[in-house]
A and B are shown apart, each in its own frame.
Chain A
Amino acid sequence: MLTFAIRRLLGLVAVLLVLSILVFLIFFATPGIDPARRMAGRNPSPETIAQIKHEFGLDRSLPVQYVLMMKKLFVTRDLISYGSQTKVIPEITSAAPVTFSLVIGAAVIWVVFSILVGLAAAVLRGTVLDPILMILALIGISVPVFWLGEVVNLFTQSRWHGFFLFSWVPPLGYTPLTQDPLKWFEGLVFPWLTLSVLYVGFYARVLRANLIETENEDYIRTARAKGISERRVLLRHNLRTSMITFVSLFGLDLGVLIGGGALLTEVVFGLPGVGLLTYNSLTGLDLPVIMTTVIYGAFFITIASALVDLLYAWLDPRVRPA
């Protein structure tokens, strides 16, 4: 286990290094593009450009530029957005709780509902309900999340807002949990549901396939032969094994969503998280912010997936000597 852990962590460091170099190259060394101009935002003055050139060492060699950039990002953390003249890193850390609130709430919903739908579809196999559930799951996978968000907004904010079921929905935006827990919850219910639709569909399909595959295992037959109730065979013997894929996928998807994947949901519901910050800097062409969110997001996802691997190896010894 220890050798596996060390090897995985060394691999992680290598990937982080190469990822950061790749991001650096995309932003600083794409041919035919002057990085100083793009760092400066819209309509920069010549002084700003000269200052940026000096600060990022753009007149020096690429390796020096890379080291200077990484120092600004991770050591001194004083990268400045030239659009809003604010420091980038504090902006990101203050936006992070919004993203966490959104993703974690959605994760709870998608875990509960996908297990229910997956189990129901597997149990009801052979009846008409199984294909209906699977078509619904496929629709969930096929719907663009930002469009679904707009449709939800159309009905809850405008068309059916007068209807008693939706009259409690607050206007788009975010209230911090510490300020008013009830408002926090009310404001996030529909973003949570919207974000989780894709994952409910996807995980329900995966779980159903795994349940049906495990159903043919010998130990399931043994369990039945021992006279264990169907319910216990399903929940204690079959579901537990079938959850292995589910759990490993869950860790990865959670990392991807927190690291930037919730962008579209944040934009459509106006939730001021890291994703909306990235979006606003996309429309304002604020490169320092985009680069920082990309690199922090990519690092978060890579580290999360390494942790998932370690956890997985600790839980299931069979995967260790990989």
Chain B
Amino acid sequence: MAVFEPEAEGIVLDAEETGGDIVGRSPWALAGRRLLRNRISLAALTLFLLIVVVSFGAPIYAHDIAHTDPFASNVTGTIKLNGKTVDVIQQGTGKLGLGETPIGPTWSSQYFLGADNQGRDVAARVLYGGRSSLIIGLSSAALACLLALLFALVAGFFGGFTDTIISRLMDLVWAFPVYLLAISLATVLLTSAHGLNLGLFTLSASSLWIPLLIIGLIYVPYVYRPIRGQVLSLREKEFVEAAIAQGAGSFRLIFREILPNVLSTVIVLLPLMIATTILTESALSYLSIGVQAPQASWGTIIQDGQALLYTRPWVAIGPGIMILLTVLALNVFGDGLRDALDPRSKVRSR
């Protein structure tokens, strides 16, 4: 049976848990208890889940509260505000009475954060953008962790030639600066007029899959490295030897003996990876090589808001606050999770 090293020691480390009824408590339960005691972590997790729920409720907000279509431009529309009818795009409000300015924050149900220069409701767009950002952030982090885990298990377990090939491949991606690799891939993939043809299926240039895959792939080595190291050392442990002596095959050794022992590392890395992928997605979208119109993400809305920065700052400020809160919540929760699952802190990640 597999032995959880750090958690087993955790029993000794935690003075409160050395009480009488310690017998029969699994390492996961101990970690869960440590996490539940960490109020700040739990608050961060709650905040993150709240942002997820609100973002995925974007269609409800747009339809039932703001009564607007956040993807259709509305340059000639009007809304009722305090009993008066106001244009969404106001003409001649500049110093010289020229130009046009979208409506500012109304702080009420319609145009809560104002409109962008196509007359679209910014608050509704921030929620829809959050949905894209979260889908890409969560999926690409999951993709990176899953691929890295698979590669690390295979490379670390079989060693030799397999290990050399996989590890050199990972080193190569590692050596390639994240933003430069993303820029190269995105320019090539996004600019092909007919989208990306992968043989079996075709992705259109505005598909969320393109940024998702790019970001997921570039972060694989960052998860791969710590896990492979752990697999290498676990392979030499007595419990693996014992399983071999019982006649266990490679499949059982990898998935039943080694995998449960590296799982806690992956779980610790996951929220920190999501924070990183969300930041990367927003940066790429800000540079116009991430999420493409008609889709929106927090990054593209900040990009839209840059032109209106001095007149209608909320267009750019709003989505930025959402990114900051989401990433901060994930980082705080990730720290708490690491303290709970890995008290001796073997995993150091940025």
Contact mask for chain B residues 179-193; partner A; CB cutoff 8 A; 1 contact, 0 none: 110011101110110
- A18 contacts the other chain (CB 8 A): yes
| B interface secondary structure, majority | helix
Q: Assess whether B244 is interfacial by the CB under 8 Å rule.
A: no
Within 8 Å CB of A209, what residues of B? 348
**A146 at interface, CB cutoff 8 A:** yes
CA distance A34 to B310 in the complex (A): 42
Q: How far is the CB of A155 from chain B (nearest CB, A)?
A: 10
Q: Is A175 an interface residue (CB 8 A)?
A: no
Scan A133-166; emit 1 where CB is below 8 A from any B CB, else 0.
0010011011111111011011001100000000
Question: A297 touching B177 by the CB < 8 A rule?
Answer: yes
CB–CB B283/A294 < 8 A = no
**Contact partners of A291 in chain B: CB under 8 A:** 184
Complex formed: what's the CA distance from A1 to B328 in Å? Answer: 43
A263→B319 CA distance, assembly (Å):
20
CB neighbours (8 Å) of B197 from chain A are: 31-32
B279 CB-CB contact with A under 8 Å: yes
**In whole angstroms, how far apart are the Cα atoms of A142 and B310 in the complex?**
24
Tell me the interface secondary structure of chain A in the complex.
helix
Is A187 an interface residue when CB atoms closer than 8 A count as contact?
no
CA distance A179 to B69 in the complex (A): 51
User: Could you mark each residue 157-197 of chain B with 1 if its beta carbon is under 8 Å from any beta carbon of chain A, else 0?
Assistant: 00000000000000110011101100111011101101011
Also in contact, A147 and B316, with CB within 8 A (given A26-B184, A32-B197, A142-B275) = yes
Asked whether any CB of chain B lies closer than 8 Å to the CB of A8, the reply is no
Name the A residues within 8 Å of B177 (CB-CB). Answer: 256, 259-261, 297-298, 301
Distance between Cα atoms of A209 and B176 in the complex (Å): 28
Q: Is B105 an interface residue (CB 8 A)?
A: no
List B contacts of A298 (CB < 8 A).
175-177, 180
Q: Which of B323-348 contact A (CB under 8 A)?
A: 323-324, 327-328, 331-332, 335, 348
Give which listed residue, B187, B306, B310, B332, contacts A158 with CB less than 8 A. Answer: B310
Chain B residues with a Cβ closer than 8 Å to the other chain, count: 46
B175 touching A154, Cβ below 8 Å: no
Contacts of A148 in B (CB 8 A): 320
Q: Mark B7-38, 1 if CB is under 8 A from A, else 0.
A: 00000000000000000000000000000000
Q: Do A26 and B188 have beta carbons less than 8 Å apart?
A: yes
Q: A19 near B176 (CB under 8 angstroms)? A: yes
Known A-B contacts A15-B175, A297-B177; A139 and B309 likewise in contact (beta carbons under 8 Å): no
Tell whether, in the assembled complex, residue A144 and residue B183 are in contact, meaning their CB atoms are under 8 Å apart: no
Interface contact B175-A19, CB-CB below 8 Å: yes
A154: chain B residues within 8 A (beta carbon)? 309-310, 313, 317
Question: Counting CB contacts under 8 A, is A61 at the interface?
Answer: no
Chain A residues positioned under 8 Å from B196 (CB to CB):
32
Assembled-state Cα–Cα distance A142/B34 (Å): 25
Asked whether A282 lies within 8 Å of B183 as measured between CB atoms, the reply is yes
On chain B, the residues within 8 Å of A153 by CB distance are: 309
Chain A neighbourhood of B180, CB < 8 A:
259-260, 293-294, 297-298
A95: chain B residues at CB < 8 Å are none
Give the contacts of A294-316 with B (CB-CB under 8 A): 294, 297-298, 301-302, 305
Contact B184 A27 (CB under 8 A): yes
Whether B176 and A283, one on each chain, are in contact in the complex, defined by CB atoms closer than 8 angstroms, is no
CA–CA, A143 and B325, complex, Å: 9
Contacts A150-B320, A260-B180; A285 near B188 (Cβ below 8 A):
no
Contact B283 A157 (CB under 8 A): no
B181 to chain A minimum Cβ distance, whole angstroms, is 8
Q: Are B183 and A290 in contact (CB under 8 A)?
A: yes
Known pairs A19-B175, A282-B289; A146 contacts B188 (CB<8 A): no
Question: Please, which residues of chain A bring their CB within 8 A of the CB of B310?
Answer: 154, 157-158
Q: Is the CB of B324 within 8 A of A142?
A: yes
22 contacts across the A-B interface (CB closer than 8 A): A19-B176, A23-B184, A32-B196, A33-B188, A139-B324, A142-B279, A142-B328, A143-B324, A144-B279, A147-B319, A150-B302, A150-B306, A150-B309, A150-B320, A151-B317, A209-B348, A261-B179, A267-B286, A282-B183, A283-B288, A298-B176, A305-B175
Question: A147-B323, A157-B310, A260-B177 are known contacts; what are 19 more A-B pairs with Cβ within 8 Å?
Answer: A18-B172, A30-B188, A138-B331, A138-B335, A142-B279, A142-B324, A144-B282, A144-B302, A147-B319, A148-B320, A151-B317, A259-B177, A261-B179, A264-B286, A268-B306, A285-B191, A290-B183, A298-B175, A302-B175
Residues of A at the B interface (CB closer than 8 Å) are: 15, 18-19, 22-23, 26-27, 30-33, 38, 135, 138-139, 141-148, 150-151, 153-154, 157-158, 202, 209, 256, 259-261, 263-264, 267-268, 278-279, 282-283, 285, 287, 290-291, 293-294, 297-298, 301-302, 305
**Which A-B residue pairs are the 5 nearest by beta carbons?**
A147-B320, A142-B327, A142-B328, A158-B310, A32-B197
